């Protein structure tokens, strides 16, 4: 009798497994459809790194979304804000006006600050369209392959992430997740005050 029950149960197990794999809300289905619905960003935690504990300067260079070359080295002597983002990232869309507000405030005060976005794992056309939609006036590097963020010393696990580099190019602060204009300008001002 147990063998007969096992034979009857086998088709039911196959049907149940087949039904689960067809569920469009399953994690597997979401991963396969590429919509990134299951994406989780950082919690907005702020990390300030004392000067004595900063790693070596970041070595980063690439092409902007408009095809212009750029490197951290070209901003030597200035504080650099790097914002890692993507057009498919909801929290990145939410923080975009805050970033633009911080950039406008800092640049209009003529402080030695450079903003550069890093549009990661995204295509340049989507990046340009998203930047235009949100009125971003600072440029972004094209990181379609996701390789540029590997140069950021393990400080970026997912977009959005914002890094503030000191005047020598070392990572002085990080916001893991959405950033506000007031938090970002405060971090930049702190780094500027350190000389």
143 & 91 share domain:
yes
In a domain, 173, yes or no: yes
State residue 2's pLDDT score: 56
pLDDT of res. 44: 76
Domain tally for the chain? 2
* 38: in domain: no
Q: Is residue 40 part of a domain?
A: no
84 and 145 housed in the same domain: yes
Please check whether residue 39 lies inside any domain of the structure. Answer: no
We report the CATH number of the domain holding residue 70 as 3.40.30.10
**What residues make up the domain containing 71?**
45-193
**Does 50 share its domain with 16?**
no
pLDDT, tens digit (0-9, with 9 covering 90-100), for 50-106: 999 999 999 999 999 999 999 999 999 999 999 999 999 999 999 999 999 999 999
Length of the chain counted residue by residue: 195
Region 5-26: mean pLDDT is: 45
Q: What is the model's pLDDT at position 25?
A: 42
Q: What is the mean pLDDT of residues 30-36?
A: 42
Partnered with residue 155 across adjacent β-strands are none
Task: Clarify whether residues 54 and 101 are in a common domain.
Answer: yes
On whether both 9 and 65 belong to a single domain, the answer is no
pLDDT tens track for 157-182: 999 999 999 999 999 999 999 999 99
Same domain, 61 and 105: yes
* One domain for residues 145 and 91: yes
Q: What is the pLDDT of residues 95-152, one digit of tens each?
A: 999 999 999 999 999 999 999 999 999 999 999 999 999 999 999 999 999 999 999 9
DSSP letters, 58-103, are P--EEEBTTS-EEEGGGGTTSEEEEEEE-TT-HHHHHHHHHHHHHH
Confidence of residue 38 (pLDDT cuts 50, 70, 90): very low
- The answer to whether the CB of 160 falls within 8 A of the CB of 117 is no
Q: pTM here?
A: 0.79
**What average pLDDT does the structure give for the chain?**
86
- 29 and 67 belong to one structural domain: no
């Amino acid at each position: 009798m147990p063998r007969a029950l096992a034979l009857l149960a086998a088709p039911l197990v196959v049907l149940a497994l087949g039904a689960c794999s067809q569920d469009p809300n399953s994690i597997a289905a979401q991963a396969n459809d590429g919509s990134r619905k299951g994406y989780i960003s950082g919690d907005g935690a702020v990390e300030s790194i004392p000067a004595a504990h900063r790693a070596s300067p970041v070595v980063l260079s690439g092409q902007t979304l408009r095809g212009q070359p750029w490197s951290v080295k070209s901003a030597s002597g200035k504080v650099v804000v790097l914002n890692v983002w993507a057009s498919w990232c909801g929290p990145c869309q939410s923080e975009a006006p805050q970033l633009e507000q911080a950039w406008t405030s800092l640049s209009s005060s003529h402080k030695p600050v450079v903003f550069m976005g890093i549009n990661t794992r995204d295509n340049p056309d989507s990046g340009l369209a998203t930047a235009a939609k949100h009125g971003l006036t600072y440029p972004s590097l094209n990181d379609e392959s996701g390789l540029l963020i590997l140069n950021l010393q393990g400080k970026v696990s997912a977009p959005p992430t914002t890094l503030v580099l000191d005047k020598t190019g070392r990572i002085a602060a990080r916001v893991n997740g959405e950033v506000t204009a007031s938090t970002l300008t405060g971090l930049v001002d702190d780094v500027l005050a350190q000389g």
